[in-house]
Structure 1
């Protein structure tokens, strides 16, 4: 394929029409900037859980098992912590907080409950309002209250569930309790398991915090989904405010060293700015919301853009130092680098686009936006920056624009050039031995990496419980918000036995009037799996079956109806189920029954209690196993099951995108080097350092206890995209040098010419992206650390591993080599280059 004519056409436009090119790119920037104002945000876990079968089942449960035409509701938790929340003063603080909230019409309180309310009703069964309950406690003595607490613990199972695990019946004491306030809220509150970036409860709960602060005297914390949603949103803004300035400082520092010229650095920064504007402007025009996942896109654009910019300017300076004119120098530069940039862009896009195969929409969006952004970066740094550089140097010839340095990095004879030759020295002396060591290390790291865990929890999207001291001491506007959610969640998990993970649910769809409907529901609890709590050898559960059994115990007429229709005398009716349900829905048990069966008798739910120490994966697997025992269509659901399903998809996405990215990049490189150089095997040579980089990074994830989560799951595919960047520059430069020089000279000129630019690019992006480790969003911090490590690994592998790989490649594909030379463990003199692969 005669690709050179396309390169020559691009060279002509860049050199001969440089001013038109610059103006055209600036106009496009203006167009894309119009989309910046349309970029919306999306935060939280709800973006990951949508469209999952378990999540859809949970949403249907929350929609169907509620009274028809009822308003949306939400709840606020009042978490009280003090020496003894069951003391007289402790009970009054909770009750007065409930009462104050009930008095505010804007809070739309429909009801409230607490351990204090239960104790008050033990003192005075007629105290049905909070105001009456306050009076009952105020009128009681300490011994009266202690006795009421003990009676409540014996008679009401809900009472102990509202108290911390250190509750002591004899002393009537506990260090913490939870009160619940229910609200009627505007339509639209989430009914699923995931938290979104906004909630109708946010303003309600923020106002409730202010209201409770005086009544609770600092002992009561207001908590709920609105507070969580607010922190989900704030964590993105705070992360950007904290990390972007630090990244800019590092980037400016290293770019100053790399360019050593103010005007050239300004061109590089303008190009980086344009790449970001194009990408985010495209998002706004395309209607793609900015989410936590997409926080990683700007650093990736900077990583590739910085690399492209430094390479373009450094390669141009090499030609200028040899005495070539502006036009000739830029033609030689773009003639070579446009091809290299195209190869890098192709492989990087393949690495990012591999995430499009994920079943999770946020990961798909990340792959799509990152691919588009890298393509924009190629156009800006491959065409705009060279054209702008030509215009700049032409202006320098006419006007006294200061020029500080035009010397390329890593030039021959420099100290840096000597350091960069380390990989060439190894390749010359013992390439095979070195590659064997690398092979063993890579295999070991890969095997070790198989133990990397997978995580998907709300905490992945929240700041840590405590920020580092230096972050807390930062002045405004860099100081992060006062985050409390993670600390509260940890406290609830550590001090209360009843959490979301104590239950799991099965959603059943089928004709519930059919005679066998209740029997199959009942038998599903026989011989329950290990993670399910057992009661009398059966799974501890609540369902329409338990509602029927409870009603039968207190209602003689209903009990006789059940007995008439119970063929095997197990307390579960087998016949005339429609009549059984009709009786329940016409009785005082109606609301309870509708919690477990729909009014059309077409679906039901069964809630199982699970062991508190069971893992999410065990609960999910066991729930799915029980669901399979139903003859009707049954779906395992609940928050634990939904989040575990996402975690499973995250791991699946990571492995699938890795395989696709590696295979796609390999095929692409083989094809491109066949077309460009007539050497398909150079494409495989190009992949060797990338495989080493991926294995080292995956092993590091396990070593640092960083799991595959919503963001880090993309890292392996991204590493291929970024890793190929470094190895392509070395391999492509080597191919050009090898066409006119012997092997040793070609390698030496390659690492000196390209290695310096790679080092500058590596240091700039490692520190520029590494500052994401400061982010208050933990997943972003982990992503920043891993991205920085992947770039450092890619740089080292390209300069240390690739030279030895090229030596061995030459031995394998050089027909003039003997078999003895192929097996030689050392280096030695190399013959002249061959024309192509055999």
Structure 2
């Protein structure tokens, strides 16, 4: 029934090719019109509950509800920084500070800035010193300017030294290299705090775009004085250069490689052109449908064209190569194309359905942008199916008919049938014939080894290095990448190296300690954790020590100014080490009575009971996220030593690692789910089309091997598991199942024609295998050019896809034949698989 319906559609395409061309061109114009409605910006929003079940997320939510402190009061604000830097100069001079106050006054005149500022809005060294000079903590900008103008340079230097003394909160506004209590620095920053929009759900919302633009433009006007920002507007020129380098290096290299391989595969200019028309139309359809359905493009705009180009080339190769196989010496164009479409049509439908299942598995992702990618790619796959079963065959029939009428011979040999490739592609069949069980066992062992390597693959939440390798800058002519000397890049690198983040949640890791926190042993463990923190490179230090905030540090600070609490603490500290050994609960209560706001930052009191305590550790920003996370977990482990306490580090790095771990575990479940669904779909489909559900189920088995081998390849190549690679691993299922379907479908067709298993395998692998080789070379080569990119995320993505495509081809051509041969001999219908049948084709 399925094949009968397909054959009727094929007859329409081949017999009425001109009408099909007109209809498809009109339809393409209508669908492509949706591109004008396309929303390019995808949602990066994470579902509110997506990572809510990680321990880190749960503890973060717990602390936001039960602790006081700046990080909770500023949950509805976001910050943007403006920097002042003068090489060899002093940005703490009177003139420099006054100039910054005037800069602030200028940007406050902008309605976008003034309307978005939260409270006082700006924190800078100039403001701290200006308010001291005015003698009024609430003095406005004009009053600060007048006060500083009225002081001598010496008086201003003294105010600066006092304002930036050891322990001052204003030290976050100067670089880490600044010596507290001095009046000289090479740079400083002003932090503008803005209200976030109502209902904002992103964990790190950006400041208002108009306000950022105003800060940037005002800084640009003062760039000669060393003013700069590092926001989106400042980054625009840098990313334009990166995009230009990508367009000049990656795209030409990919296009040249694709054209070279297609030229080798087709050895025919007309077929290359017709195939590319189909590729372009498929991509246009994908974006057009996204536009009409109002689905944001997001990552689909970057990854979609490459994936759909690869899949479209694959479809084209199968159509054209099967057409070449089918065309006899005295035949015209229409009938061979009809037989070719009929023979590959079912495989195309199955490839589309199963690839769609693999891609749509991403709708389980907690990230909106990845869900949109899954939907977008699936629409692209469906578009490619429609285009390459209607427009492309009709265009091929029309072009070949026209060229033959003017005297060109359009008969071409299929790739894989030549004397060089045929024995190479047939090696898997030869191995299957001689030792199929051995081949399968070796493949399973290799796949299992890769799966075992999953736990040892390096996991990096983010790959941040984007330095351009020297060899990439020395490529000839326009292919050379520009060295990273863009002002934005230099400024960004300087800020990362010289400053702690202005965002408290990024520069601090909170360690939540739960359990018997009123036991004196708990504070001993906290003291041990603080000592551990002081010895770690990942903990930020200034003035020879780390400013770790803990119940002990708050107690000492309060005791220094509150005599009554000092007496309570001294009475509880029996050995004089600064850690209470008795009456700990009473000490906690006295601390709350003496300094409730400060106590609420480190102690949780509910219903008169002390439930937990926390330690705030300053984090060194110049290290990799994973190094920071490892250090914070180490400090927590020191605090947690013993059975009475649990300690959970909560910070940007531990958030990222926890989410990556959950995502990596989740992607395994997603791939298993996708494999299960694909297996059911193929079993039902093959039962309806070929009469064998087991053949359909068998077709999905090699994908499990491919996944294991890809994991092994990632381990050997040093490709880490990141947010990008973890989320896109399910694409391997969607890409790799294509190869196996084409081989098993062709094998079933050859058996139906009466060929014995070995002969059927040989015909399937050398015929279909040639198209698979061309597809692997073109798609793999296109993605391989991504390895030239400076972004480690893009390189990792390219490596993942190259591994997936290459290994899918190897398994389908050199391992899968052994599985098919054993299936045919032990499970397949005896009327079709009797190797020595007198009426069948000899097996060799």
TM-score (norm 1): 0.76
What does residue 570 of structure 2 align with? none
SS at match of 2:456: coil
What does residue 764 of structure 2 align with? 750
Kindly state the Cα deviation for residue 793 of structure 1 after the two structures are TM-superposed: 1.5
What does residue 342 of structure 1 align with? 349
What does residue 652 of structure 1 align with? 665
What does residue 825 of structure 1 align with? none
Partners of 1:208 and 1:533 in 2: CA distance: 45
834 and 346 in structure 1: CA distance in 2 versus 1, 3 angstrom threshold? farther
What does residue 263 of structure 1 align with? 270
191 and 659 in structure 1: CA distance in 2 versus 1, 3 angstrom threshold? closer
799 and 264 in structure 1: CA distance in 2 versus 1, 3 angstrom threshold? same
What does residue 807 of structure 1 align with? 821
SS at match of 1:678: coil
Partners of 1:237 and 1:524 in 2: CA distance: 57
Kindly state the Cα deviation for residue 741 of structure 1 after the two structures are TM-superposed: 1.3
What does residue 158 of structure 1 align with? 169
What does residue 644 of structure 2 align with? none
String of CA shifts for 1:399-457, please: whole Å, max 9, x gaps: 42x74753132364532223322222322333333333222222222212332244434
Partners of 1:65 and 1:173 in 2: CA distance: 28
What does residue 709 of structure 1 align with? 722
SS at match of 2:192: strand
SS at match of 2:723: coil
- For residue 744 of structure 2, the aligned residue among 726, 731, 736 is 731
Structure 2 runs not aligned, ≥5 long: 535-546, 568-582, 605-611, 641-646
Partners of 1:90 and 1:197 in 2: CA distance: 27
- Check if 1:214 corresponds to 2:224: yes
Q: How does 1:77-92 map to 2 (within 5 A)?
A: 77-78=82-83, 80=85, 82=87, 91=93
- Conservation of the 8 A alpha-carbon contact between 1:57 and 1:507: no
Mean alpha-carbon deviation: is it higher for 436-445 or for 235-244?
Answer: 235-244
- For residue 470 of structure 1, the aligned residue among 470, 473, 483 is 473
What does residue 609 of structure 2 align with? none
Q: How does 1:301-320 map to 2 (within 5 A)?
A: 301-320=308-327
- Conservation of the 8 A alpha-carbon contact between 2:68 and 2:601: no
- For residue 373 of structure 1, the aligned residue among 357, 380, 400 is 380
Kindly state the Cα deviation for residue 776 of structure 1 after the two structures are TM-superposed: 4.8
Partners of 2:781 and 2:68 in 1: CA distance: 49
What does residue 824 of structure 1 align with? none
- For residue 101 of structure 1, the aligned residue among 87, 98, 103 is 103
What does residue 361 of structure 1 align with? 368
Kindly state the Cα deviation for residue 787 of structure 1 after the two structures are TM-superposed: 1.1
Partners of 1:7 and 1:753 in 2: CA distance: 22
Aligned residues: 780
699 and 125 in structure 1: CA distance in 2 versus 1, 3 angstrom threshold? farther
- For residue 144 of structure 2, the aligned residue among 103, 126, 129 is 129
What does residue 255 of structure 2 align with? 248
Kindly state the Cα deviation for residue 316 of structure 1 after the two structures are TM-superposed: 0.8
Kindly state the Cα deviation for residue 301 of structure 1 after the two structures are TM-superposed: 0.7
Partners of 1:372 and 1:664 in 2: CA distance: 19
- Check if 1:433 corresponds to 2:438: yes
Mean alpha-carbon deviation: is it higher for 233-242 or for 315-324?
Answer: 233-242
- Check if 1:194 corresponds to 2:167: no
Kindly state the Cα deviation for residue 732 of structure 1 after the two structures are TM-superposed: 1.4
- Check if 1:798 corresponds to 2:823: no
- Conservation of the 8 A alpha-carbon contact between 2:262 and 2:272: yes
Q: How does 1:392-791 map to 2 (within 5 A)?
A: 392-397=399-404, 399-400=405-406, 403=408, 406-410=411-415, 412-457=417-462, 463-464=466-467, 469-470=472-473, 475=478, 491-492=494-495, 494-496=497-499, 501-504=506-509, 527-528=525-526, 541=549, 569-570=586-587, 572=589, 608-609=616-617, 615-616=628-629, 619=632, 639-640=652-653, 642-739=655-752, 740-791=754-805
SS at match of 1:8: helix
String of CA shifts for 1:288-330, please: whole Å, max 9, x gaps: 2222365212111111110110110111111224543323212
What does residue 280 of structure 2 align with? 273
- For residue 384 of structure 1, the aligned residue among 387, 391, 403 is 391
String of CA shifts for 1:64-93, please: whole Å, max 9, x gaps: 97999999663314264756x7xx577568
String of CA shifts for 1:735-758, please: whole Å, max 9, x gaps: 211232122322222222122222
- Conservation of the 8 A alpha-carbon contact between 1:119 and 1:152: yes
- Conservation of the 8 A alpha-carbon contact between 2:93 and 2:153: no
SS at match of 1:41: coil
Partners of 2:473 and 2:175 in 1: CA distance: 34
- Check if 1:182 corresponds to 2:192: yes
Structure 1 runs not aligned, ≥5 long: 509-518, 561-565, 598-603, 628-633, 818-827
TM-score (norm 2): 0.75
63 and 470 in structure 1: CA distance in 2 versus 1, 3 angstrom threshold? farther
Partners of 1:488 and 1:596 in 2: CA distance: 39
SS at match of 2:729: helix
187 and 212 in structure 1: CA distance in 2 versus 1, 3 angstrom threshold? farther
Kindly state the Cα deviation for residue 357 of structure 1 after the two structures are TM-superposed: 1.6
Partners of 2:530 and 2:300 in 1: CA distance: 35
803 and 120 in structure 1: CA distance in 2 versus 1, 3 angstrom threshold? same
SS at match of 1:608: strand
330 and 505 in structure 1: CA distance in 2 versus 1, 3 angstrom threshold? same
